[in-house]
């Protein structure tokens, strides 16, 4: 359910970036990734282009070029040309594949190729717009990904702290039980002194526990503060986008 909600939110975000440009949205909804660092190939772009030339499938190379273009704004024009060139070569490869299937009588399998050709033609014509929207989209996605990683690290730290607290309390309870057992074996005078010592230790234990609780409260307050700061930053970025 959470993944579905995230996908719907990102779809709405992409619609916001595309404004009322439905053709642009129609193409980018299939060419931008919710988790780009995991979805886009780690291979160098040159390697992907060489593999595309051999296989006739330019999708991975185009994905990589778009992403790299968003991460290198100072080289925008170079990446615009790279993407246009890849789109043109992808059109040629798809048209050849479509023609071959038609010659083989496999016309029912050419529809997807036709759609792919149209998408690549649009990409070639609107490369600048595609890179502009992709830059905003991936900027936000990477920032949110960093926030998510930090949030998960804080949750893991809290779980570890809670686990350590349980272990400490179990150990303290065990120590108290041991002292009670030992007192039963003592004489009256020894038992009286042991009780006094036990009160001292119990007070020290309670002070340590309160110290840990205060530290946990401070950590939880810091977590709320960080989440509020992140929320404010997201809202400021949204306002900034709307003001463009």
pLDDT in tens, 77-135: 999 999 999 999 999 999 998 888 877 777 666 777 888 999 999 999 999 999 999 99
SS3 category, 126 = coil
Sorted by where each begins, the domain ranges of the chain are 2-144, 157-243
**Number of neighbours of residue 113 by Cβ within 10 angstroms:** 19
Averaged over 211-223, what is the pLDDT? 85
**Contact, 183 vs 197, CB < 8 A?**
no
Percent of the chain with pLDDT over 90: 45
Averaged over 10-32, what is the pLDDT? 90
More confident residue, 24 or 111: 24
Averaged over 162-170, what is the pLDDT? 89
DSSP secondary structure of 176-220? HHHHHHHHHTS-HHHHHHHHHHHHHHHHHHHHHHHHHHHHHHHHH
pLDDT in tens, 32-60: 999 999 999 999 999 999 999 999 999 99
Q: Which two tokens stand for residue 140?
A: 């936000």
Q: Whole-prediction pTM value?
A: 0.75
């Amino acid at each position: 359910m959470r993944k579905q909600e995230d996908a719907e939110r990102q779809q709405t975000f992409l619609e916001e970036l595309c404004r009322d440009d439905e053709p642009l949205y129609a193409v980018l909804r299939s060419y931008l990734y919710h988790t780009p660092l995991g979805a886009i190939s780690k291979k160098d772009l040159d390697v992907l282009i060489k593999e595309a030339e051999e296989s006739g499938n330019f999708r991975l190379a185009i994905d990589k070029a778009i992403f790299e273009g968003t991460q290198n704004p100072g080289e925008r024009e170079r990446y615009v040309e790279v993407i246009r060139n890849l789109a043109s070569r992808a059109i040629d490869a798809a048209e050849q594949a479509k023609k071959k299937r038609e010659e083989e009588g496999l016309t029912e399998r050419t529809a997807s190729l036709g759609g792919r050709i149209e998408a690549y033609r649009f990409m070639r014509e609107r490369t600048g717009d595609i890179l502009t929207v992709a830059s905003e989209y991936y900027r936000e996605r990477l920032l949110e990904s960093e926030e998510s990683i930090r949030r998960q690290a804080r949750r893991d730290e809290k779980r570890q702290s809670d686990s350590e607290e349980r272990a400490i309390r179990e150990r303290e309870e065990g120590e108290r039980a041991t002292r009670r057992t030992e007192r039963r074996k003592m004489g009256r005078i020894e038992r009286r002194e042991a009780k006094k010592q036990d009160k001292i230790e119990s007070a020290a234990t309670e002070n340590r526990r309160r110290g840990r609780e205060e530290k946990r409260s401070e950590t939880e307050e810091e977590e709320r503060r960080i989440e509020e700061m992140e929320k404010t930053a997201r809202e400021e970025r949204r306002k900034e986008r709307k003001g463009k």
